[in-house]
Structure 1
């Protein structure tokens, strides 16, 4: 039986001498925009090490008066340097080039044979919400340049995919499949980024002025701010109905339309089109009787769609739900017949 001496226990409980800090930073945040703890650590460090002479943070460290060594010692050398003099060394990781150092530190720490300094991972900057969208734009740029199929696509050629992806998104919402919802939202977002990337290449001839995804976002931001005066202005809105009224008023001023039917895409599914027309009529308080006569089933469907919209039911959604139930009944009948 081995008895631990008081001196050994005290040594084990004593703070580790020295400190090795791995300072990371997000490539999605502008270089130089480091956190205050990161700058404090850099300024107080005895050594700052970075093997990558093209590291994006280097110009800003130099401007701040921080001396950076472009040689990273071995794990044994760095541990000895920090522990012997109770020193702090900051390492700016540079990808795969630092694998040898990090593996060496892990091996020494796990051996229990070497007195180790404090090992710390210090994030110098964090991704902001939406930061991965920047990666998406970069990926789309490269695909557009290098993919034989993507590089030849046009707005017209992609139009059908926008419709398909929108329907698949609606189906994921209606079935309550959140895994599918996440994927389908991405597919719809791809259409937006793809079209914006194509638009960026417009030559400016025949009135086709180029615009980018940033222009798309800027236009949307301006619209949202303008149509939400109760959020970004002095207007008040206590209920969803108040919000909708604000939206319709500001939209009417923006569009300056001659008819309430303007802006309604006639190419959308017929039930959705009928409900949209009925909604515009009801919202405007307009007396526009439904057509009747020899229109047959079309007029009857139109009347049903208007009734559904008035009662707060989306006829397109209701019919899809009914059709889905009918599909299940068909499958059940097929299985019963096979048995």
Structure 2
């Protein structure tokens, strides 16, 4: 097989995107792996790439963010290429479709609608989606979203049509109410057997209310929890390292001994 000419590097958005499309066409025609892929086979890889982009964003690594955006861009082009081969749609259809959606959903930019702030924009967005045929404000929340993210999106969606608390003090009162109901089901002060179904339900209500409060004070609960996860991992790995340096196994150490290293890790 003759060697392919490498497409020249693009010097503007249009030529750079055209370069990617050209490479995709070549790979789809000539690469054994790329030729075998389907929309279904790419799905789990796209999810993985999305999480890698999320990690890069949390790390604040701009070069990794650029790299992961490129990986996801490749996947989007790949899906469009496969669809075009089946006669479903092509990349032009994809791009024109998103452009049309943005135009329609921004009547304050491309029409005569007046908005005062971002909350007006969000309300208009949800109302337009309902006019477009969505049967519910919550239709746009994917069922497969992780529960924490789903709770945030549900709350954001209903807020867009005015279903929300007026003051953060009201939201916090709800958190305290749910905490008390959970404590009543969980029997925190004794070992009396509990109704696990009820306790689980109350714990879910408590989490939902905490996520709601976080949204209300503009904290992203997913980001907050992931940062705490990373902080815990870093500190625990420090504990493991120090235990190894002392020639001890964690399971042979007392909690008091481990706390010494844990507290050291908190100062780093």
Match of 2:137, SS? coil
Structure having the higher Rg = 1
The question of whether the paired residues in 1 share the 8 Å contact of 2:108 and 2:114 is answered with: yes
**1:228 & 1:244 partners in 2: Cα distance?**
10
**2:226 & 2:78 partners in 1: Cα distance?**
29
Out of 21, 42, 52, the residue aligned to residue 158 of structure 1 is: 42
- Does 1:129 find its partner at 2:17? no
The question of whether the paired residues in 2 share the 8 Å contact of 1:309 and 1:315 is answered with: yes
1:145 positional shift: 0.9
> Which residue in 1 is equivalent to 2:261?
none
- Does 1:198 find its partner at 2:82? yes
1:193 positional shift: 0.4
> Which residue in 1 is equivalent to 2:186?
none
- Does 1:336 find its partner at 2:242? yes
> Which residue in 2 is equivalent to 1:245?
123
> Which structure 2 residue ranges, 5 or more long, are not aligned?
1-6, 166-173, 182-197, 246-268
The question of whether the paired residues in 2 share the 8 Å contact of 1:275 and 1:309 is answered with: yes
In the superposition, the TM-score normalised over structure 2's length comes to 0.70
The question of whether the paired residues in 2 share the 8 Å contact of 1:279 and 1:310 is answered with: no
Q: Which residues in structure 2 correspond to 1:140-155 (within 5 Å)?
A: 140-155=24-39
1:276 positional shift: 1.3
The question of whether the paired residues in 2 share the 8 Å contact of 1:227 and 1:247 is answered with: yes
**1:138 & 1:247 partners in 2: Cα distance?**
35
> Which residue in 2 is equivalent to 1:221?
99
**2:36 & 2:159 partners in 1: Cα distance?**
45
Higher helix share goes to which structure? 2
**1:225 & 1:329 partners in 2: Cα distance?**
48
Please provide the CA RMSD for this pair: 2.5
> Which structure 1 residue ranges, 5 or more long, are not aligned?
1-26, 29-125, 203-208
In the superposition, the TM-score normalised over structure 1's length comes to 0.56
Out of 190, 203, 207, the residue aligned to residue 297 of structure 1 is: 203
Q: Which residues in structure 2 correspond to 1:97-112 (within 5 Å)?
A: none
**2:38 & 2:141 partners in 1: Cα distance?**
24
1:131 positional shift: 1.8
Change in Cα spacing, 1:138 to 1:195, as seen in structure 2 (3 Å) is: same
> Which residue in 2 is equivalent to 1:262?
139
Match of 1:130, SS? helix
> Which residue in 2 is equivalent to 1:272?
149
Deviations 1:51-99 (A, max 9, x none): xxxxxxxxxxxxxxxxxxxxxxxxxxxxxxxxxxxxxxxxxxxxxxxxx
Match of 2:85, SS? coil
Deviations 1:4-43 (A, max 9, x none): xxxxxxxxxxxxxxxxxxxxxxx99xxxxxxxxxxxxxxx
1:258 positional shift: 2.4
Q: Which residues in structure 2 correspond to 1:1-339 (within 5 Å)?
A: 127-202=11-86, 209-254=87-132, 256-286=133-163, 293-294=198-199, 295-339=201-245
Change in Cα spacing, 1:241 to 1:282, as seen in structure 2 (3 Å) is: closer
